[in-house]
Each structure stands twice: as structure tokens, then as C-alpha cells.
A and B are shown apart, each in its own frame.
Chain A
């Protein structure tokens, strides 16, 4: 293993990239930046939509929970790659006004980025919704009843009572979803967005240094994900309640 790694040509990263953007190191770091930008933007979308859908699924009555369920099943049961192609190739063609604007007003890079964000955001939202729903349901009907009995209305019960506790409970699974979105962002390479895995592939193709390229990219993905985990554990620690859910008294 050591001799294999040592036998590779690591100088490749300091040679000029084929597209004249600088060294191949810089070339990969540009990919890293796109991966982070894509993942974070998509995560914000996923978090907002997922929270709304998850809350709807716990509402009383049938209509709103039903709509939430339809959303979740739709986005969870179509392969991510297919969804990306739908966002990028199909929707701009079949939505008259907006589709034309998308194709004419946005440059290709922006088209790829917007499609990637929408695809990852809506897909991950379905999964976040399930986490939010299970977090709220884990509190039982008692907390809701206690809030209502004090005269709080339903939006207040969610905002002040249920969600602050539910979000704390689901920090670990939400972290997993954020890690997933980072890894899933590699699908954007299929529509040509110059994110990390696409850059690695390009580097391999132009220099034939496949091993070096993918070892470097694996490390970069690892560094992002470890960072996310550290941040998540920090958030978990500062929001932990004394005596509740494993918090010290």
C-alpha cells in the first residue's frame, strides 16, 4: 500500500490544467467549492421544504397530511438521477414561460447549478420531512394537548412547543441527510456541472493519472464530511437540555 502510494506521481497537481484555469490542484479546489455551494444551497431548500411537509403530515384532518404523504412518496420513489434529468432536460421544455426563460436568460453553468439545487433540494426534502414527522410524533399527543390546553393555537404549539424539541431529537438523522446531500451532489456531474467528482473525472481523462485524482477527491469528500460531523456534534452539545435525552442533570 505504502509503496503503491509512493509510486504515484503527486506532482501532477502542480502542473497546469488543460483548461488554463491554473494548476490541477486549483482545478480540484474549484470542484470542491461547487460541491459545497451546491450542497449547502440544496440543504437550505431541503430543510425548509422538508420541515413544512413534515409538519403538514402531523396536522389534524386528512387533506394536509395526505398532501404531505403524496410529496414524500413522489420524491422518495423516483431515482435521483432520473429526477435530475427531469429537472434539467424535461421541465424546461414542458413549462412554457418559465422553461423558455430558463433556457434563454441563464447561462449554461447557472442552468446546471439551478437544476442541481432543485433536484437535490426537493429529493432530500422528502427524507427530511420523514425525520421531522417522526421527531414530532415521538413527542406524543401529550405535549400538543398541553400546549392547546393553555390556550395556544396550533401554529403556536408547533412553533413554541413541538418543533424546538423535535429538531433537537432529530439532529443525528438530519446530519446523515446532510452527509447524503454532499455525496449525492456528485450526480450533478452527469449534466456537466464542474463539481468535485466531475473535476476528478476530467483530471483522469486529460492526464491519465486516475489513481492520484480519485485518491485526492476521496480525501476531499472525507474532509468535508468529517467537518460536517464535527459541526453537528457541536450543535447537538450546545442545544442539549439538562436531564433530557441523555443530557447531564
Chain B
């Protein structure tokens, strides 16, 4: 479904991504973790072309992201993305946030888009908040709206860029619950997160990144039992001893 082949990226002199390769198959949930500055967010933003890369190739459902002839907008509309800071559109109501791209990109009628939006708001438990503006919701509610907004486009895969990092601890669970449900329903997901509890519960594989490289890319059970590298071991012991809830 998503195939990342030896991509490299530089910010000027700084080598952010070093020949990263991995694949995410249909229905698979892959968690990407690692210390800050390791390139996790950059990697996931390369997948839908929000960040450019200089070398390598990324294929989504067989379509090359970086190639010149690719209709990037069309490709992006098929891949949902959820951001750390939600990025809901502040001048639109919750339901308008869910319908705008359906209408403008997928050319759905307003009625069809609204019905779809309402259904998804129901799924994320926010059906009663359709007419509110984003700033009237809590962080956890906003992030659930953001997930619903991405799902409204009927994506073939979902990308999550630290979806719970900007949330109060008590709101993290409500967002993770939605994501777990999504994973269990078979959605293809690539998730940058420090929530190891989420990784334990639903991930198929865990990728560990450090200094722009994919250091480990292994099935979840192997990764948690015995990381290959010292770096991953250190990271895990720090993050787990910190008491992340499972």
C-alpha cells in the first residue's frame, strides 16, 4: 500500500532523512517512534508530499509521490492525515470542516457530504457538536473532529503525526480509543507516536528512528521483547519507566 524506498532529505547541509525504507501493507498498523529530531514527522510528511525529498521514491497504491506527472492533490485526497495541533479550520463549523473537502475535491453534493459528516461525527462521539466552531471544543474533541475530517474522504490509508502530543493527559485516551477502533476495523495506518500502549495494543510493526535513520523495523512483539540496538533499548527503557499508560 505504502512503499518507501531509500528516501533521503536535506535541509541545506543538514541530512534529515538518510536512506529510509519501509513498507506498510494493506490493513497494517505501523507505529513510528524515536527521540525528537530523529525525523519521524518529516518521514510521515514525505509520504503525502507535504515535505519534499531529494532522493528515493515513495509509492502509494502504486503511484509515485515525488514524480513530476503525479497529481499530488488527487493522491493526497486518498490519504488521510491527522496533525499534532489538529489544524481544524477555525472559520468553519465542525460539520463544515468535514464537508469542505468532500464538496471541493470529491465533488460530492452538500447533502451527501453533510450526511457522511454527521455519520462520522457520530462514530467519534461528537454528533451533538456539529454546529459549533472548533475553538469551542476541547483539544481531545478537536482531534477527534480532525480524524473524522480525514475519514470523510474515504481514505485508503491514514497518517497520524503525533496525534496526542498536544493533548492534556486525560484527553489522550478519548483520541486513542478512536484510533484503536479504526485499527481494529482494518484501516491501514502509519502512526508517529510515543504512546507505547497504543503500539502494544494494535500495531503490527514498530519502526524506531534515530538521527534520520530507520534503526529498527520489526514486528511489535520482537521490538518490545528485545530491541536489536542499544539506542532503541535506551529509548524504550526511558519511555516505559516514565509510566506511559497501557
Contacts and interface: CB of A to CB of B under 8 A. Distances in A.
- Check if A and B associate: yes
Interface in B39-63: 45, 48, 50
Interface string B53-93: 00000000000000000000110111111010101111100
Interface stretch (B30-38, B97-105, B114-122): B97-105
A168 B105 contact: no
Given A149-B48, A149-B50, A244-B135, A164 B77 contact: no
Given A149-B81, A156-B104, A168-B91, A249 B73 contact: no
B76 to A, nearest CB: 5
Contacts of B90: 165, 241, 244
B135 A242 contact: yes
Contacts of B135: 241-244, 247, 249
A235 to B, nearest CB: 14
Interface string A161-186: 10011001000000000000000000
Nearest to B78: A151
A146 B98 CA distance: 12
Nearest to B77: A151
A244 B76 contact: no
Interface string B118-152: 00000000000000111110000000000001100
Contacts of A150: 76-77, 100-101, 105, 149-150, 153
Given A150-B149, A168-B91, A244-B135, A145 B105 contact: no
A241 B48 CA distance: 31
Contacts of B133: 241-244
Given A146-B87, A156-B104, A151 B76 contact: yes
Contacts of B48: 149
A151 B73 contact: yes
Contacts of B150: 149-150
Given A151-B76, A242-B136, A249-B135, A165 B87 contact: no
B91 A164 contact: yes
Interface string A232-249: 000000000111100101
Say which size band chain A's interface belongs to. Answer: 20 to 34
Given A242-B135, A243-B133, A146 B105 contact: no
B83 A146 contact: yes
Contacts of A146: 81, 83, 87-89
A243 B76 CA distance: 30
Given A150-B153, A168-B91, A160 B104 contact: yes
Contacts of B85: 142
B100 A160 contact: yes
Contacts of B132: 242
Contacts of A145: 45, 50, 81, 83, 87
Contacts of B149: 150
Contacts of A153: 73
A143 interface: yes
Contact of B153 (A151, A160, A164): A151
A165 B91 CA distance: 6
A152 interface: yes
A146 B105 CA distance: 14
A148 interface: yes
B136 A161 contact: no
Given A150-B153, A241-B90, A242-B136, 10 more contacts: A142-B87, A146-B87, A151-B101, A151-B106, A156-B104, A160-B100, A241-B133, A242-B135, A244-B91, A244-B135
Interface of B: 45, 48, 50, 73-74, 76-81, 83, 85, 87-91, 100-101, 104-106, 132-136, 149-150, 153
Interface of A: 142-143, 145-153, 156, 160-161, 164-165, 168, 241-244, 247, 249
14 contacts: A142-B87, A145-B45, A147-B89, A149-B48, A149-B80, A150-B77, A150-B105, A151-B73, A151-B76, A152-B73, A164-B91, A165-B89, A241-B135, A244-B91
Closest 4 CB pairs of A and B: A151-B77, A243-B135, A146-B87, A150-B101
